[in-house]
Every structure is written in structure tokens, then in C-alpha cells.
Amino acid sequence: MALTGILRPGHVQMRVHDLQASVEFYTNIFGLLETGRDAAGRVYLKACDERDHHSVILRQADQAGSDFYGFKVLNLATLNELEGRLRDYGVATERIPAGELLETGERVRFRAPTGHLFELYAQKTEIGDGLGYVNPAVIVDDRKGLSPVRLDHWQLHGEDLDGSRDLFVDVLGFSLAERILCEDGERDMAVWLSCSNKAHDIAFVRDARSDTSHHSAFLMESWEKLLYAADLLAKKRVPIDIGPLRHGITRGTSIYLFDPSGNRLETFCGGYNFYPDMKPYTWTWDEIGSAIFYHTRELNERFLTVVT
């Protein structure tokens, strides 16, 4: 179903402690564009190359983390088909009416075995990337901060990794691109799943702390842009978890950082092209360091322990 069913990660609603301080961070430092605010006080943002109205929703809360994760699907027929598949598989679904999120159509919401709340939708107002559709320019003017080009993927943690993996592969049509095996050499400790031609659109990690988020990732155009991001983050005194670095898994390059509320973000670039006929890469427990931090081959303890 790659590129004909679920298309891509479409939006995430994140909880922040101080809404105005977070808006300042996400617009002026991280470099997203504010596109609206709703009656509930939520703020909507998008990356510069995204054409739909938003990919990030911020709401003020006492505890950091993410409320739900949305995937865009091809059309309404696909939305109905996938809801039917979920129900046939025994997954309860809920229809969220159009307009509950700004400029967004009806959504199908369900909870995965790892505890995370997901939703599928087919319609969101297209506002464009500012370049136009006839003889477009190649440079987006007035970019601020890091200015990633799109929401790219999530890494989520929960106890029932097997259940979420099977749901996404067997029901939603994702492909298994990479995995890390547990110490027993049999169970999956982590999996990277793709609904597209990317190395991954979502990753699940086995963790007793269900319904937690490790990071939301945003794509950068190049390694040079990633290095610039590191310089800017250091200048602005933004807490960097680790990086710049290369992953063995996906072959991507990365910086992990924290927003003012402690939500971990990733700026990501690179990675290989994936197709559904490819055999997944498998990493063994003894090479987990190289799988995650390819150059140092050593794990950052904070990287394993901090989730929201």
C-alpha cells in the first residue's frame, strides 16, 4: 500500500508548559511558520516545504509530551477502507468531526497496543509552500532559525511493541525496514516501519513506559544544514541531547535537542530509499551501539532514559 494508502506523517499535537514561550521557540529558533490559532487556544504551525495547513499543534498543559499522531491517507475511500480494516482486526475506532482541528477534515482515531493515540485523515486545507504552482522559484524567502522542510517521523515507546508492529504492518500496510533484536536474539527490541519510500515513517521501541514519546523528527535538506543547525542551537543556548551524529540504522544524520518544555526533537537528514520488496536490516544486541550511534558505537544514557 506504499504511497496509495497511508501517505505520510501529517501532524502531531504536543503539550507545552508555556504556550507563548514555546511559540517563540518553534517559530524563531526552530523555524516553523504559525498558520492559525483555535478557540481552544491551540497554536498551529508548519514547516516551510509543507503544503498542508499544519503539521504541529501546540497546547498548553502541565506535563510535556504528545497527545496524538496523525497520518494523512490518499482519499476518503482509503480512510473508510482503513477504518474497516481496523475494526475487523478488533481495534475500536472513533470518528472525530471535520473542523475539530483547524482546516482538517474528519479523522479516524484509534489506540495502538503500545498505548499511543493515532488518527487517520484524508483532508486538510492546502495553503502551499509560498512558491506557487506555476514556474515556481526554488528558494523560500524569509526562513527563520533551523527551518526544517517537513515533519518526517516519530520514535515512540511502549510495552506491547509486537502488537503495534503487527497492527501497522498487517492492517495499515507499513513495511518493516529495520529492527534491533533483544538480548535473547529473538524478540524485537525496536522496529523501524515505512509507509513510503523513506527508511522509516515511525519507530517503536520496547519499553515498560507505554504511551510515551522519544522524539518527533523533522527533515533538513543536507548535512551542511544540519551543521548550521548545531551552530545555531549552541548560539541560542538550546539544550542539545546529542549530535551531530550518524545512525547505523537508516544511515541518517541527526541532532537531538529539547524544546523549552522538555519535548525531544530531532533534526534529521539523509537515509536510504526504501521499497516494499526489500528485506529488512537486522541489528543484533551486541551491535546496538553502532546501530544508534554509528561513529562512537556507545549509547548515551539520557538517550535511552528520557521520554515524555
Active centre residues (catalytic): 153, 200, 215, 247, 256, 266
- Alpha-helical regions (H) of the chain: 19-24, 76-88, 161-166, 223-235, 288-292, 301-305
Burial class (CB in 10 A: 0-12, 13-18, 19+), 142: exposed
| Number of neighbours of residue 30 by Cβ within 10 angstroms | 27
**35's grid cell:** 498558520
Rounded Cα gap, residues 293 and 138, in angstroms: 33
Q: Phi/psi zone of residue 115: left (φ > 0), alpha (ψ -120 to 50 degrees), beta?
A: left
Q: Which amino acid is at 127?
A: I
Q: Residue 192 and residue 13: Cα distance in Å, rounded?
A: 22
Between strands 264-270 and 94-96, the pairing is unpaired
74: left (phi over 0), alpha (psi -120 to 50) or beta: alpha
In a 3-state reduction of DSSP, which class is residue 3?
A: coil
DSSP structural state of residue 29: I
For the chain, report the end-to-end CA distance as a whole number of angstroms: 31
